[in-house]
A and B are shown apart, each in its own frame.
Chain A
Amino acid sequence: MSAAKQPGQATPSSAASGSIIRPYGDTTGDGMVQMSFTLPLPHDKKAEGAALQLARKMGLDPALLVHAKAMGPDFTFFVVYGSSTHLVNLDDVHVVEREYPLLSAKDANLTIKKQLRRKLVVVGACIGTDAHTVGIDAILNIKGFAGEKGLEYYREIKVVNLGAQVLVPELVARARAEKADAVLVSQVVTQKDAHIHNTTQMSAAFREAYPAGQVPILIAGGPRFEDGSEKALGVDRIFGRGTTPGEVASYLVHEIGLRKGKKP
């Protein structure tokens, strides 16, 4: 596409200053991407043509078929390189930026002590049929994640980790019994949108069990939650892949502060 050859995009400085961006292969503005896919066709000329046509329809022009391999009699695997004709305007890209400061464990402890004058209680679980505790354990267990210790390590946080396959009523009951300030649920399995169903079911149960305004901070964690879907899920915060315990602790401190401020 001709946009790739526009002089205005030819130099790194102008590309960096502009808000229009394209993929970078080895030259600014070349738009080069690489992708692989399978077509349910036997490997022949026609299949290769079909692969190229698909690539063009996906916005790769020119598209370069670099690899095609039959996988059994009915399928062919393709690797395609090509220049993407699509442009991204950064002004139209909206993401959630962290609105709270990252605190060290020490600072988080101090703030909790000052604000609550007691320990912050966090109840965590993998709910529904999900048995993947990797995520919740990374955040809660003292072992932690990415070199950061988990919430159990925080002197001013009391962690109750219920483990895997916890039923929602059980979680609600336990949260009430422990007077939880926050509830963390982890959802990894996404087959048939299980993570969404489980999470909405959980948040609804909490709203039902608590008087308005007193529901604990509800946090959902998992690699496949959509950014910004808190409202739809009925939770206060979603944490995705790569979240560290420190981020969660900092958020909790921030949110508790906000809630404290709101209450009489």
Chain B
Amino acid sequence: MTRPDAMLELDPAVVRRARALARKAAAPVVKIARSHTTVSVERATLRLAGLAGADHERVPWVNHLVTAVRDEVGLEHGVTTPVYDALLRGEAPDLTTLAQKAASGNVSFRMPTGREATAARRAAAKGVGAGLRTIDRSRATRDRLIKRHGDPKTKPWIYLIVATGDIYEDIPQAQAAAREGADIIAVIRSTGQSLLDYVPEGATREGFAGTYATQENFRLMRAALDDVSKELGRYVRLTNYASGLCMPEIAALAGMERLDMMLNDSMYGILFRDINPIRTFVDQRFSRQVHARAGIIINTGEDNYLTTADAVEAAHTVTVSQLLNERFAKEAGLEDWQLGLGHAFEINPDIPDSFRMELAHAMLARQLFPDAPLKWMPPTKHMTGDVFRGYLLDGFFNLVGAMTGQGILLVGMMTEAVVTPFLSDRDLALQNVRYVMNAASGLTEDFHPPRDGYIQTRARQVLSEAVDLLDRIVSDTDAAGDAPLLAAIADGTFGLMKRPATGGKGLDGVSERADDYDNPATTALDAWTPPAKMAGR
């Protein structure tokens, strides 16, 4: 990929200022994330310690155990100390039995002190350490398989979605999509899942507009893609969603089952799902730390800003969100190559110069984040059901992708907003991508927007609007004295959605950490540093 060097001639001082403001906005929120825990963080920790499975009503054992500990000793100390104390006291031989007994109220938990506390913490560190080592092994396996099968020959990587609701239908579709040229398979989740406060269990065959994310579904799909990777001689990546109320748990499962990319946005759950802001930021930090360690590439959800607001007026909110996502990601230990920052082709095609503006916005993202893969997302809002017009629009979307060196290209379907894609829709969509890439990807060499022309001017305007918005965010205040970013989210700075820090779903699952809070996963993740950069990344 030829990088468009300083093609937009942005003022480096403005870029530095934008990053400094993002850092300033994020800092107090990171502090909150470091001083709180959630039921989902604790459940994720138990999952790392190997607790899996569910009761006959499909309530996961991690939920039973966390609920029991919380009722008796609270969440603020972290659940692993009382849990491992109970094991050391001989309440049960293993975590699963302990959870089963806890579910029927046959175990009493306590917060041990002194030597007993030290012993419990040591045992917990050992138990949770096993899960972290599984994640490390998965990462090593991925590296080995990529070396063996190879990465896709060209960029952008082609990202295709599968969504039948039935994992056993998804598998042949995903394999077919890979054979047709997909480099990344995303299994869309059932629409209800982000608001479930538990992770469903086992292989699932029923979902709404998507398939449930479960550990077993992850395992099945990864194994199927390993087969097809071998067949095709190219490592096919698997994507799922770490968002919603179970972000940390899904991240842990994804790390252990070797998923390769995860949708993980810093504010999406707050703004678009009405999940409590504190819950989201605490869960998000843990999940991103897990992703960092697992070598997973995150995909952020900036496309959502453009589908709910006007893509011209709201262009700068994408930039702001990218900068915040970058900051939160870096703080959690993710590296540049893991930042699939999102943006989308959503400007109304009826307005003049829409394509020039799309180009300007895409170049701005490319230049602000030169080492991030960037995820380029196709039109959805202005796909009308006129599939012929939609096909043309997707062609122009692909052209912007080709001209601006995007890392990940989500393939647009002409039947967007009409039906779930037919086999033929996918085939036509891939022909569209191939034609455009084949015909025009070399344009990155030739195409340089003229100095102070329309594209440069538009990009600078969006960047300066982004800086203004960040300025407003860091100086925002509310009566409760919340962190400025939280105050900004509460008063509707992002779109028309007002999300107060005291509202939203999942707030009751948040606890401030006590002084004796211990979580061996958090401790290990805080201390972890990325391995030395591999050549060719």
Residues of A within 8 A of B (CB): 36-38, 69, 71-72, 75, 77, 128-131, 133-134, 137, 141-143, 163-165, 189, 191-192, 194, 223, 241
Using an 8 Å CB-CB cutoff, how does the interface string of B484-503 with A read, 1 for contact, 0 for none? 00000000000011000000
Residues of A within 8 A of B191 (CB): 129-131, 165, 189
Nearest-neighbour CB distance to chain B for A65, whole angstroms, equals 15
Of all chain B residues, the one with the shortest Cβ separation from A78 is B424
Of all chain A residues, the one with the shortest Cβ separation from B505 is A165
Complex Cα spacing A131 to B190, Å:
10
Using an 8 Å CB-CB cutoff, how does the interface string of B172-197 with A read, 1 for contact, 0 for none? 00001001100000000011101100
**Contact of A38 with B422 in the complex, beta carbons under 8 Å:** yes
Residue in contact with B308 in the complex, picked from A77, A137, A223, CB distance below 8 Å: A137
For the complex of A and B, the 5 pairs showing the least CB-CB separation, nearest first, are: A129-B192, A129-B191, A71-B427, A77-B424, A38-B424
Residues of B within 8 A of A163 (CB): 274, 497
Residues of A within 8 A of B101 (CB): none
Residues of B within 8 A of A191 (CB): 165, 208-209, 420
**Contact of B209 with A189 in the complex, beta carbons under 8 Å:** yes
Given contacts A131-B191, A164-B272, 19 further A-B contacts (CB under 8 A): A38-B424, A71-B180, A77-B428, A128-B192, A129-B190, A129-B191, A131-B194, A131-B272, A133-B272, A134-B381, A141-B496, A142-B496, A143-B310, A143-B496, A163-B274, A165-B191, A189-B191, A191-B165, A192-B165
Using an 8 Å CB-CB cutoff, how does the interface string of B64-105 with A read, 1 for contact, 0 for none? 000000000000000000000000000000000000000000
Complex Cα spacing A223 to B383, Å:
13
Question: Does B309 interact with chain A (Cβ within 8 Å)?
Answer: yes
Main secondary structure of the interface of B (DSSP, over half): loop
Nearest-neighbour CB distance to chain A for B173, whole angstroms, equals 12
Residue in contact with B423 in the complex, picked from A75, A133, A223, CB distance below 8 Å: A75
Question: Does B307 interact with chain A (Cβ within 8 Å)?
Answer: yes
Complex Cα spacing A194 to B192, Å:
12
Of all chain B residues, the one with the shortest Cβ separation from A167 is B195
Complex Cα spacing A189 to B420, Å:
10
**Contact of B423 with A164 in the complex, beta carbons under 8 Å:** no
Residues of A within 8 A of B427 (CB): 69, 71, 77
Complex Cα spacing A143 to B381, Å:
14
Residues of B within 8 A of A141 (CB): 496
Residues of A within 8 A of B422 (CB): 38
**Contact of A36 with B208 in the complex, beta carbons under 8 Å:** no
Of all chain A residues, the one with the shortest Cβ separation from B310 is A143
Residues of B within 8 A of A192 (CB): 165, 208
Of all chain B residues, the one with the shortest Cβ separation from A40 is B423
**Contact of B307 with A134 in the complex, beta carbons under 8 Å:** yes
Residues of A within 8 A of B497 (CB): 163
Question: Does B472 interact with chain A (Cβ within 8 Å)?
Answer: no
Residues of B within 8 A of A137 (CB): 308
Question: Does B385 interact with chain A (Cβ within 8 Å)?
Answer: yes
Complex Cα spacing A192 to B420, Å:
12
Residues of B within 8 A of A142 (CB): 496
Question: Does B273 interact with chain A (Cβ within 8 Å)?
Answer: yes
Complex Cα spacing A164 to B268, Å:
13
Complex Cα spacing A223 to B418, Å:
9
Question: What would 28 A/B residue contacts be, using CB atoms closer than 8 Å?
Answer: A36-B424, A69-B427, A71-B180, A71-B423, A71-B427, A72-B176, A72-B180, A75-B423, A129-B190, A129-B191, A129-B208, A130-B191, A131-B273, A133-B308, A134-B307, A134-B381, A137-B308, A143-B310, A164-B273, A189-B191, A189-B209, A191-B165, A191-B208, A191-B209, A192-B208, A194-B208, A194-B209, A241-B385
Of all chain A residues, the one with the shortest Cβ separation from B194 is A131
Nearest-neighbour CB distance to chain A for B401, whole angstroms, equals 23
The B297-348 residues at the A interface (CB cut-off 8 A) are: 307-310
Question: Does B232 interact with chain A (Cβ within 8 Å)?
Answer: no
**Contact of A165 with B208 in the complex, beta carbons under 8 Å:** no
Of all chain B residues, the one with the shortest Cβ separation from A70 is B427
Residues of A within 8 A of B165 (CB): 191-192
Using an 8 Å CB-CB cutoff, how does the interface string of B191-216 with A read, 1 for contact, 0 for none? 11011000000000000110000000
**Contact of A71 with B424 in the complex, beta carbons under 8 Å:** yes
Of all chain B residues, the one with the shortest Cβ separation from A79 is B424
Complex Cα spacing A70 to B76, Å:
60
Residues of A within 8 A of B180 (CB): 71-72
Complex Cα spacing A16 to B463, Å:
56
Complex Cα spacing A69 to B180, Å:
14
Nearest-neighbour CB distance to chain B for A29, whole angstroms, equals 24
Residues of A within 8 A of B190 (CB): 129
Of all chain A residues, the one with the shortest Cβ separation from B307 is A134
Residues of B within 8 A of A72 (CB): 176, 179-180
Nearest-neighbour CB distance to chain B for A190, whole angstroms, equals 9
